[in-house]
Amino acid sequence: MTQRRERDSEEEEEEEERDITGNMRSLTTPLQSKHWHPTAQNNLKKSESNNLYSYPLQFNVNNSNNPLSRKVKPISCFASENTNQPILKESKPPLVVVGSANADIYVEIDRLPKEGETISAKTGQTLAGGKGANQAVCGGKLSYPTFFIGQVGEDAHGKLITEALENGGVYLDHLTTVSNAPTGHAVVMLQSDGQNSIIIVGGANMSCWPENLADEDLEIVRNAGIVLLQREIPDFVNIQVAKAARKAHVPVILDAGGVDSPIPLELLRFVEILSPNETELARITKMPTESFNQISKAVEKCYEMGVNEVLVKLGSNGSALFTKGEEPLQQPIIKAAKVVDTTGAGDTFTSAFAVALVEGKSKKECLRFAAAAASLCVQVKGAIPSMPEKKAVFNLLQSV
């Protein structure tokens, strides 16, 4: 009798997983029917945020094994004078970005140094960045309600990033300050042609995460319109988020940028769209990606790994969206008047695509909208400072 009950339980779990997978494969745009009830006040507190959502909590949090000190940074960013702050509406389940926040230390150079060589930089400055923070600010500046789940340290870099996020109109109820690690940072070597090379120091992005994410963090994920992930935070965090989103029928886009270790298959099976550039696609699949035909074959490998849609960023060759069983959609770049800095262009593209998708635009329209946003991004130095306003994107689209 006990064995029969165990078999019945296993069959029910398998049937549930098949139902979830089937629903996600048929999903072309995020669900708009979620009952998401924001309060009238924008300045939300952690203790208040549980009243926002109608879905019951499904995860039990046990942080007793985590001795690290964690606290929510006090937030005063939601003042009415912040013109970039998005207006929340029930019809707009939010964009939720879970990922990294870095202080980008820029050095402008004519060329990269050779081995053993010391060269002088023209200038140097520190700006807010990190793939997660970049994508969150992009969503906020595109006037879409955007939440950021991430970590910064108790240092000047953490303050710099927090101010950049709040000025970009991002809701910071789920940003955590940790006392046991410094804010992540990156050294960006910017060459005169706008190309860059980057070295990342993970800091708080890669450490001090609790073994189990807080219920309130997973709750905002379950009630999102779409979730964006990258690979500059630990895989186990991404897996928890993606799994919670999948169970709630919320699509997940995984930007493949970040650490170069293999992507866990457990993560990929919960991802709706994988978004690499051609270099990342080659690394993931161990296949060449020097031509469109080679890229198409590499995408087939991604299908075998469990992903049904692959959004490939192709630099100067534009982008392409591959959907299993369909012809790929190609989008050429929208040429920029002048390329100043390509840092953050891929993050802008991915986030703008997500915003257009959650707003119900067709996939072809999403690609074009994202191309326009990326074109504006590369014309300004810095990652977060270069994120375009929605009006500017629309104006560019009308002019081309």
Binding residues: 102-104, 130-134, 232, 277, 313-318, 341, 343, 346-347, 377, 380, 382, 386
Q: Output the six-digit token pair for 123.
A: 């200038």
Catalytic status, residue 347: yes
User: Rounded CA gap, 242 and 24, in Å?
Assistant: 13
**Cβ(62)–Cβ(212) under 8 Å?**
yes
The secondary structure of 140-185 as a DSSP string is HHTT--EEEEEEEESSHHHHHHHHHHHHTT-B-TTEEEESSSPPEE
Q: Which residues are annotated as a binding site for K(+)?
A: 341, 343, 377, 380, 382, 386
Catalytic one among 173, 217, 255, 347? 347
Query: In whole angstroms, how far apart are CA 131 and each of 15, 25, 356, 360?
Result: 36, 27, 19, 24
Residue positions in the annotated binding site for ATP?
277, 313-318, 346-347
Q: Is 14 helix (H, G, I), strand (E, B) or coil?
A: helix
| Tokens 């031509």 sit on residue | 291
DSSP state at residue 85:
P
Sheet holding 226-231, edge to edge: 70-72, 175-178, 146-153, 95-98, 226-231, 252-258, 273-275, 309-313, 319-323, 329-331
Check: CB of residue 389 under 8 Å from CB of residue 139.
no
- Segment (H or E) for 310: strand 309-313
Rounded Cα distance between 68 and 55, Å, is: 30
| Phi-psi label, residue 31: left if phi above 0, alpha if psi -120 to 50, beta otherwise | beta
- 311: burial class by Cβ within 10 Å (0-12, 13-18, 19+)? buried
DSSP 37: -
Cite the active site residues: 347
